[in-house]
Amino acid sequence: MKIIWVAGARPNFMKIAPIWKAMAAWNAGQVSAKTRFCPLLVHTGQHYDANMSDVFFRDLALPEPDYALGVGSGTHAEQTGRVMMAFEQILAREKPDAVGVVGDVNSTCACALATAKCYVLTGNRTPLLIHVEAGLRSGDRLMPEEINRLVTDALANVLFTTEESGTQNLLKEGIPPERIHFVGNVMVDSLLQALERDQATSRRFEPLAPSTGYGLVTLHRPSNVDDPALLVDIIAALQGIGQNIPLYMPIHPRTRAQWSDANMINLDSVATDRLPESPGLYGLPPLGYHDFLGLMRQAAFIITDSGGVQEESTVLGVPCITLRENTERPITVTVGTNVLLGRNPRALQEQVDRILRGEWKSGASPPGWDGHAAERIVSVLAKLGEGNQ
């Protein structure tokens, strides 16, 4: 089966990497070329800074992409349109049997649309469209990702879900049950692999870890950071918390564009004596995967609006406060360590105090978040491949 995997933005790389490895492991056990996968990797270039893209190729041992589309930033229509135009050419040239997209970013939706409409270009045959992390719904259509999820799932032929709510959402939307496969969470595969190999280490950041502990913050949702008044309130609340316990915040480029006067720590200075001497809110550049996981697993708590970080903190058992009204990942709240605070920064201090008093739930890892999701995906795809021979 010739299958194109699409990555475009930061949270895509840790989802593709375990699938890539599982495909290689499957191929190694096949005697016939017919039953092997022939994977190709396309990087759309939605994220392009070295610390939003290249670092993940290194940390996750991903191969160089077969195609780098270099689409860059733009409005939603510009970015989606540019990915569609560039990806259509790849489809016409490669005529794949299948296209795999992950998550909910613009690149995911754009490649799903191009794939679903490429019948003539690919020799009067539409490739199978595979969506990994299907069915997640926040119920909030102001969130660009929710539109991407709805469109991608409506078009996909094979839908892999990470939690029961995903499966139920798809069934409610009329997706035939035989298309839906609950496989667990590939992002957790990457996380557990990094822990097993002792790669997720905070050694580099030990000088930043005082005996009081520290909190970790990531914010990049437009609903938080593109609203200047709200961002000012959030930063003020974080600075208040930082008076008692240091907060480290790797700053996403979208957030950096709105908050350029952050009190930044230069990463090169982490191992030297030029470190902050007092508690406070300190910015860091976006971190590589291993550095970020290292900092996250040792944190006393996490404040975030990231989808992936809600999941990872649940698996790591680290208390997580999510500055959003909703989550498309409800299992992180019902089973994990996550609490939804709404867009209500003034309530942050009270929640952090609860955590520091040890009054937080301990949580557990959700079903199927066990490090083997990619293997389950590959075995479903292998069966589909057999059926097509």
State the catalytic residues. Answer: 220
Site string for ligand UDP, 179-218 (x = CB under 6 A): ---------------------------------------x
Q: Taking the complex as a whole, how short is the minimal distance between the CB of residue 64 and ligand UDP, in angstroms?
A: 20
Binding status of residue 10 toward ligand UD1 by CB under 6 A: yes
By DSSP bridging, strand 38-43 and strand 247-250 are: unpaired
The binder of ligand UDP chosen from 5, 8, 11, 188 (CB under 6 A): 11
DSSP 3-state of 195: helix
DSSP 3-state of 219: coil
Q: Is the dihedral of CA 186, 190, 191, 197 positive or negative?
A: positive
CA distance 333 to 314: 9
The binder of ligand UD1 chosen from 44, 106, 332, 365 (CB under 6 A): 106
The binder of ligand UD1 chosen from 5, 48, 182, 292 (CB under 6 A): 48
Angstrom CA distances, 312 to 150, 192, 361, stand at 24, 10, 16
CA 130 to chain centre: 17
Judged by CB under 6 A, the chain residues 94 through 113 that form the site for ligand UDP are: none
Judged by CB under 6 A, the chain residues 268 through 297 that form the site for ligand UD1 are: none
Cβ atoms of 355 and 300 closer than 8 Å: yes
CA distance 233 to 300: 22
| CB closer to ligand UD1 out of 111 and 315 | 111
Q: Taking the complex as a whole, how short is the minimal distance between the CB of residue 201 and ligand UD1, in angstroms?
A: 23
- Helix or strand holding residue 172 (H, E): helix 164-172
| CB closer to ligand UD1 out of 143 and 237 | 143
Binding status of residue 111 toward ligand UD1 by CB under 6 A: no
Binding status of residue 309 toward ligand UDP by CB under 6 A: yes
Q: At a CB cut-off of 8 Å and minimum separation 6, what does 112 contact?
A: 99, 101, 129, 131, 151, 152, 155, 156
Q: Taking the complex as a whole, how short is the minimal distance between the CB of residue 20 and ligand UD1, in angstroms?
A: 20
Amino acid in position 201: T
The binder of ligand UD1 chosen from 6, 9, 129, 170 (CB under 6 A): 9
Q: Strand pairing partners for 39?
A: 3
The binder of ligand UDP chosen from 287, 302, 355, 374 (CB under 6 A): 287
Binding status of residue 81 toward ligand UD1 by CB under 6 A: no
Binding status of residue 289 toward ligand UDP by CB under 6 A: yes
Binding status of residue 49 toward ligand UD1 by CB under 6 A: yes
| CB closer to ligand UDP out of 205 and 292 | 292
Residues in the chain: 389
Q: Taking the complex as a whole, how short is the minimal distance between the CB of residue 287 and ligand UDP, in angstroms?
A: 4
Binding status of residue 254 toward ligand UD1 by CB under 6 A: yes
Instruction: Using the rule CB under 6 A, give the single segment among 98-106, 130-138, 166-174, 379-387 that binds ligand UD1.
Output: 98-106
Amino acid in position 52: M
HSE-CB for 289 with a 13 A CA cutoff: 29
Helices (H) and strands (E) in the chain, counts: 15, 13
Judged by CB under 6 A, the chain residues 197 through 236 that form the site for ligand UD1 are: 220
The binder of ligand UDP chosen from 8, 215, 308, 336 (CB under 6 A): 308
**Which tokens go with 265?**
């720590």
**Closest among 357, 356, 249, 254 to 304, alpha carbons compared:** 249
**Which tokens go with 250?**
């790797």
Phi, psi of 249 (to 5 degrees): -135, 100
Alpha-helical (H) ranges within 273-347 are: 289-297, 307-316, 331-334
Binding status of residue 292 toward ligand UDP by CB under 6 A: yes
**Residue ranges binding ligand UD1 (CB under 6 A):** 9-11, 46-49, 52, 73, 104-106, 144-145, 220, 252-254, 257
**Residue ranges binding ligand UDP (CB under 6 A):** 10-11, 14, 218, 250, 286-287, 289, 292-293, 306-309, 312
